[in-house]
């Protein structure tokens, strides 16, 4: 009988996740995983084209997205839900130009922000303020990621077709990687 007493002691007292919140969070887990794969694929494309700085930046982005995914996974499991790991949509493997690749990164981040907003909206409707609060980190993170992607695109537009400019850009983006690594905040 002792184990029953033990079980009662360890039973979580907080409110469990509602099913629709759990599935919305699982959807986001998949999006973060797909983002990680997309940036990993971009890193590979850049690396085989000799763009080492850009490749390093993309590898770091990929790691960050995995950290975003894990933070959600742990939250779902800790709240009495079940984080489900699924198959993923295969990312694009090649790009015509590095500019096209960064445009894809920027529009992907906008898509992720919209998805986070939708998720926040659901938590509000369901009065799940704990999840609502948890998601605020993602809201700020998306503002930052969109801003970074936008400023990179602005720089690329300034460079245009200048090869020397691309060389400097590839070198400078490594510095940006160092800065964004500090910003990673996995739980
Ligand atoms: Fe993310
Ligand atoms: Fe992102």
49 alpha carbon – ligand 2 mean position (Å): 23
**In percent, how much of the chain has pLDDT > 90?**
78
Instruction: Map tokens 């990164």 to a residue.
Output: 105
Query: Nearest ligand, CA of residue 69?
Result: 1
Answer whether 0.85 is exceeded by the pTM. Answer: yes
Ion ligand 2, residues whose Cβ is below 5 A away: 145
142 alpha carbon – ligand 2 mean position (Å): 7
Query: Nearest ligand, CA of residue 144?
Result: 2
Query: Nearest ligand, CA of residue 31?
Result: 1
| H or E segment to which residue 119 belongs | helix 98-125
| Cα–Cα distance for residue pair 81/77, rounded to 1 Å | 5
The tokens describing 152, both together, are 């990179």
CA–CA distance from 154 to each of 112, 115, 160, 171 (Å)? 20, 24, 10, 16
pLDDT at 161 over 90: no
pLDDT tens column, 26-83 = 999 999 999 999 999 999 999 999 999 999 999 999 999 999 999 999 999 999 999 9
Where does the pLDDT of residue 13 fall: very low under 50, low under 70, confident under 90, or very high at 90 and above?
low
The three-class DSSP label of residue 58 is: helix
Give me the pLDDT at residue 79, please: 97
Ion ligand 1, residues whose Cβ is below 5 A away: 32, 65, 68
| Cα–Cα distance for residue pair 126/67, rounded to 1 Å | 26
112 alpha carbon – ligand 2 mean position (Å): 7
CA 95 to chain centre: 21
Sign of the Cα pseudo-torsion (56, 58, 69, 140, in order): positive
């Amino acid at each position: 009988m002792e184990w029953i007493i033990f079980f009662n002691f360890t039973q979580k007292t907080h409110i469990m996740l509602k099913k629709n919140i759990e599935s919305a969070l699982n959807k986001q887990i998949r999006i973060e995983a797909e983002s990680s794969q997309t940036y990993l694929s971009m890193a590979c494309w850049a690396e085989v084209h000799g763009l080492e700085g850009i490749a390093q930046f993309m590898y770091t982005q990929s790691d960050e997205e995995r950290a975003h995914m894990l933070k959600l996974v742990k939250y779902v499991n800790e709240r009495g839900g079940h984080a489900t790991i699924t198959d993923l949509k295969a990312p694009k493997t090649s790009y015509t130009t590095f500019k096209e690749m960064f445009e894809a990164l920027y529009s992907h981040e906008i898509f992720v922000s919209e998805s986070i907003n939708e998720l926040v909206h659901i938590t509000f409707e369901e009065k799940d303020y704990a999840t609502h609060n948890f998601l605020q980190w993602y809201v700020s993170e998306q503002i930052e990621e969109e801003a970074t992607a936008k400023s990179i695109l602005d720089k690329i537009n300034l460079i245009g077709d200048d090869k020397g400019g691309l060389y400097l850009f590839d070198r400078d983006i490594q510095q940006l990687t160092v800065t964004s690594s500090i910003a990673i905040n996995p739980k």
